[in-house]
Amino acid sequence: LALWGILMTSSICLRQTDLKALIAYSSVSHMGLVTAAIIVQTPWGLTGAMTLMIAHGLTSSALFTLANTNYERTHTRTLLLVRGLQLAFPLMSTWWLLTNLTNMTMPPTINLLGELFIISTLFNWSSPTIVITGIGTLITATYSLYMFLMTQRGSISTQFRLLPPTHTREHLTLILHLLPLGLLIMKPALISGLFT
């Protein structure tokens, strides 16, 4: 049921037009993996669940922070209306790219480590689960790229030509989200050594 929930909530993400709803459903999808790992009750599963919960907590919070910075400037969360923000905020676009790559568990992120632990645990428990987790991972990559392309690429609307600049506090907040993710991959035993 947890794996079926991953497929359903990931599929809902592909149809979202509201940026914050997309990020929220993305979190529900990732927590389906955590739930499946906890239900299996193996040391690797619990390690993967703990790792992914910490990693996704930072990643999801960073995505909500980015969505809020967009909303403060454009006053809309509709994806079709906030296109082309890379032209207005190139540094913020870099944060969007890094956070989306982390959300889709690209190496060398701690998210990848957590998902590998969980997927291998589920595969050892029942080999057909590799199909469902593989499809879920593919859909996650798809909606993460969709979110990045919809918010950053394309031509910017004429109503958003004069946008206020980003602030240092916003960049600092994003650094404080992504820096721990980068540091944890250098010493993953801090969180993954709890159950092994």
pLDDT of residue 178: 94
DSSP-assigned letters across all residues of 79-144: TTTSTTHHHH-HHHHHHHHHHHHHHTT-TTSHHHHHHHHHHHHHHHH-TTHHHHHHHHHHHHHHHH
What pLDDT shows up at residue 83? 84
End-to-end CA distance of the chain: 26
Please, which pLDDT band fits residue 188 given cuts at 50, 70 and 90? confident
pLDDT tens for 163-177 read 888 899 999 999 999
Length of the chain (residues): 196
Q: Which one, of 148, 89, 126, 106, lies nearest residue 116 by Cα?
A: 106
Confidence of residue 81 (pLDDT cuts 50, 70, 90): confident
Instruction: Compute the CA torsion angle 93, 94, 96, 99 (nearest 10 deg).
Output: 180
Look at residue 8 and give its three-state secondary structure.
Answer: helix
Strand partners, 173: none
Judged against a pLDDT cut of 70, whether residue 195 lies above it is answered with no
Domain ranges of the chain: 1-190
- pTM (predicted TM-score): 0.91
Question: Mean pLDDT throughout 63-79?
Answer: 91
For the cut 60, the answer to whether the pLDDT of residue 161 exceeds it is yes
Residue 193 confidence class, pLDDT cut points 50, 70, 90: low
pLDDT for the residue 49: 93
Predicted local distance difference test score (pLDDT) of residue 165:
86
Residue-wise pLDDT tens digits, 83-108: 888 888 889 999 999 999 999 999 88
In tens, the pLDDT along 8-48 reads: 999 999 999 999 999 999 999 999 999 999 999 999 999 99
Q: Residue 160 is encoded by which pair of tokens?
A: 């958003």
CA angle in degrees (0–180, nearest 5) for 69-75-80: 90
